[in-house]
């Protein structure tokens, strides 16, 4: 008989199950405390029981453990200075959606050499998350692979579903079972209907095929996630962080029977993909919060040790230290100035 299955599959490489990797890199009591408190803080902010602002800040993507830890230690020191007005959460993005092709992220290719050692990638990612949470610093990530997230979802306080995947039924169902608050980004054109529909879907219970902690195929039954919300990132039609657009979106949410709860992404289309414009968006949003706009619950900023970006050439050994390999970021010094200035204004 002629072959009709796996015609374009070269090989299957076995990998340890999530439970096996978790056993290798177990959650510590300190890490558990950080995750639990981080989630509780964000949920209280969304419920209106806490008037602080969530600030999700950090590299566009993680590409080196040492640099990520250095950044985390700097950010943790800053976190302690502003914790009465802000809940600082570090971006730890291990997967990158690609418009066509390119580096898919630390988990897929942790050595930046096209070796695609995913088995090592999930271990390194989990190890890094434990070390960051051990500092007392909560972490955030983007959920891209529906299986990948199971290796470290217990260590994440907030997650995002990207603009390209917010319309995906798989990701909506997955979000309905995730244990942390989930932000759905508006579509790449700027339309928020995709995110609104995603929230309606993810807040309800679902039944779908997935994988359990032991790596076995299973029917997953979820209860629905009550802490789903919109992340405004602008679109091809322009930015959508301005006060008049926030006010209109509040009305749209009320009309749809949804709570008006938004995070604003200072990067991407809101800054016209110019990292130097992130402070402009930041200052505008901080002023809206200062003026009493209670619907804005959080702000996102792409930041690294040093400003800018660089292309991956011969691997991480040839890269400039502390500079993003994906989207351009602002440097940490400017990040600290932005946050401390906002702290004084709030």
Reference 259, options 176, 203, 331, 186; nearest CA is: 203
**For 19-32, b where at least 16 C-beta lie within 10 A, e where not — what string?**
eebbeebebeeebe
CA distance 304 to 139: 15
Q: What is the pLDDT of residues 168-195, one digit of tens each?
A: 999 999 999 999 999 999 999 998 999 9
Average pLDDT across each block of 10 residues of the chain; the chain has 346 residues. List them in order. Answer: 94 94 97 98 97 98 97 98 98 87 91 91 98 98 96 98 94 98 95 94 96 95 97 95 95 90 97 97 98 96 97 75 96 98 96
Pairing of strands 217-221, 207-211: antiparallel
pLDDT for residue 315 = 58
pLDDT for residue 42 = 98
pLDDT for residue 90 = 98
pLDDT for residue 56 = 98
**Contact criterion met (CB below 8 Å) for 297 and 265:** no
Non-local (6+) Cβ contacts of 301 within 8 A are: 55, 56, 57, 266, 267, 278, 282, 330, 335, 338
Q: What is the pTM of this model?
A: 0.96
pLDDT for residue 186 = 95
Q: Which domains does the chain have, with CATH numbers?
A: 18-345 (3.20.20.70)
pLDDT for residue 20 = 97
Indicate the SS3 state at residue 168: coil
Q: What is the pLDDT of residues 215-232, one digit of tens each?
A: 999 999 999 999 999 999
pLDDT for residue 102 = 84
């Amino acid at each position: 008989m002629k072959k009709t299955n796996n015609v374009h599959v070269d090989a299957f490489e076995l990998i340890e199950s999530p439970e096996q990797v978790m056993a290798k890199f177990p959650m510590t009591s300190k890490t558990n405390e950080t995750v639990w408190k981080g989630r509780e803080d964000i949920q209280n902010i969304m419920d209106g029981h806490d008037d602080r602002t969530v600030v999700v800040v950090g590299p566009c993507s993680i590409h080196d453990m040492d640099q990520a830890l250095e950044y985390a230690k700097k950010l943790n020191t800053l976190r302690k200075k502003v914790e009465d007005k802000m809940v600082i959460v570090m971006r730890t993005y291990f997967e990158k959606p690609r418009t066509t092709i390119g580096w898919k992220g630390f988990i897929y290719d942790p050595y930046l050499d096209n070796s695609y050692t995913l088995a090592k990638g999930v271990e390194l990612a989990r190890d890094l998350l434990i070390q960051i949470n051990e500092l007392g610093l909560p972490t955030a990530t983007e959920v891209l692979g529906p299986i990948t997230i199971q290796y470290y979802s217990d260590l994440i306080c907030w997650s995002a579903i990207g603009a390209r995947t917010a319309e995906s039924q798989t990701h909506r169902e997955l979000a309905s079972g995730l244990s942390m608050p989930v932000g759905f980004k508006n579509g790449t054109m700027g339309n928020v209907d995709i995110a609104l529909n995603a929230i309606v879907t993810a807040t309800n219970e679902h039944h779908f095929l997935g994988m359990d902690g032991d790596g076995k195929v299973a029917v997953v039954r979820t209860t629905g996630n009550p802490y789903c919300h919109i992340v405004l990132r602008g679109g091809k039609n322009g930015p959508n962080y301005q006060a008049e657009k926030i006010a209109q979106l509040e009305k749209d949410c009320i009309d749809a029977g949804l709570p008006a709860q938004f995070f604003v992404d200072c990067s991407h289309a809101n800054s016209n993909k110019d990292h130097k414009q992130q402070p402009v968006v930041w200052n505008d949003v901080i002023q809206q919060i200062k003026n009493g706009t209670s619907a804005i619950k959080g702000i996102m900023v792409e930041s690294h040790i040093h400003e800018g970006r660089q292309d991956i050439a011969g691997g991480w050994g040839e890269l400039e230290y502390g500079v993003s390999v994906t989207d351009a970021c602002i440097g940490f010094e400017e990040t600290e100035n932005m946050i401390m200035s906002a702290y004084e204004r709030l």
